[in-house]
Structure 1
């Protein structure tokens, strides 16, 4: 993956996951929540060009209802949303470091070093997931 420097508030970042997603891989997103945010999403895509193809994980942070939703799309159909989180960690104006740790059975999401949630893999094999996309109300400092 490549690193991207500071960008405007609403942006779209797409980075290739060389060789596809695999266990022991870590994706790090460092950024800042702007003032008056609505939402932002981190998406693990199977096709970086066609976002309508399968999605390994859609991770959406919604500020209006203080929720974090996870889901996947397989063969054109979205699965069951997962929304359980122990706390809503994002605050307008704050910086954050979010890590997506790919394990054999799941993706573990850490925020500022604390476990936030897990998402069981729905796409198999994992290496079909080939790109990372970040969109919405977030200012990216680093993606690695």
Structure 2
């Protein structure tokens, strides 16, 4: 288990469309401006397309685990989806001898001068990790488990990057491309086998700007309130020893809680409820599975429908919650508190 603080992503978007193949020409136009492209449990090696190319303001989030037999793995920001293409950024942790991470660029058939980091390596055999690649105008900023790790200056124009390629001895729980600068987000891009069962299908506009590493508890306003087909995605990590945390969708004018989503690790359950006019309603506790385990990452997607909330965890349909406060436009506050570490909130 890693000792460093992990990260959590909260991202808002709205809208939906019927599911189509991620490579279908019919939806390529929607993917021209990258926004939110979740992929769950892909087979390695794996190539995730970035339609429209990479640009400043985008981020790539990778949650995964290092197997005990690891020798090395790599994350490549490639200029094509085939072997031998130029690689704008090669991120390569190596465990064959002294642990190190190598950074480089492959261009016109040749590797450039290596950059290396030999100290403070946060990857451990058998340990979970979260990698965040923040794309800046002059560099890639690499954060690992919530902490800055390395900055790599661009050697190839960002716009040439067409995919993220993961290879080697690593298990990937999820990989997400988050678009910057607004525009239409993409449908989920899934590996072989199609979309994860029950995961909502979306073509979604990016909303707001991210807030990095906010303190807990987090309180943020959502101007204009909620509406049908808007979705909140919460991505994070449950620390070892954690007992519970909650996500509340609130009405700031009355302090009503329209939805209280409350994983309780100490009770091995997830409670849903509403607090209206100062009183809690009937709890809902029936859960098909328990995805919230100490030392593990999670991905929550809460979608607002006309009659109910649809809640997904790690790409799987988790539960539904019928509205007890149907005035969506008055739900204008997001509160996250408890035993969880936040690194990014977008709302």
Query: TM (normalized to structure 2)?
Result: 0.38
Asked if structure 2 preserves the Cα contact closer than 8 Å seen for 1:6 and 1:140, the reply is: yes
**Where does structure 1 differ by over 6 angstroms across 4 or more consecutive aligned residues?**
none
Which of these two proteins has the greater Rg computed from alpha carbons? 2
Q: Distance in 1 between matches of 2:222 and 2:268?
A: 29
Q: Distance in 1 between matches of 2:273 and 2:287?
A: 14
**Which sections of structure 2, spanning at least 5 residues, go unmatched?**
1-207
Q: Pick from 224, 228, 234: which aligns with 1:29?
A: 234
Whether 1:6 and 2:175 are equivalent positions in the alignment is: no
Q: Distance in 1 between matches of 2:295 and 2:259?
A: 26
List aligned pairs for 1:90-109, cutoff 5 A: 90-109=292-311
Q: Distance in 2 between matches of 1:141 and 1:5?
A: 5
Shift of 1:31: 1.0
Could you tell which deviates more after superposition, 107-116 or 52-61?
Answer: 52-61
**Which sections of structure 1, spanning at least 5 residues, go unmatched?**
none
RCO higher in 1 or 2 (8 Å CA, sep ≥ 6)?
Answer: 1
Q: 1:36/1:7 Cα in 2 relative to 1: closer, same or farther (>3 Å)?
A: farther
What CA deviation, in whole Å up to 9, does each residue of 1:50-85 have, x standing for no partner? 7x7211011111111111111112222211111111
Whether 1:126 and 2:331 are equivalent positions in the alignment is: no
Asked if structure 1 preserves the Cα contact closer than 8 Å seen for 2:214 and 2:344, the reply is: no
Shift of 1:7: 5.2
RMSD of aligned Cα (Å): 1.7
SS in structure 2 opposite 1:127? helix
Provide the aligned length of Structure 1 versus Structure 2. Answer: 139
Query: TM (normalized to structure 1)?
Result: 0.88
Report the counterpart of residue 225 of structure 2 in structure 1.
20
Report the counterpart of residue 62 of structure 1 in structure 2.
264
Q: Distance in 2 between matches of 1:15 and 1:2?
A: 12
Q: Distance in 2 between matches of 1:33 and 1:123?
A: 29
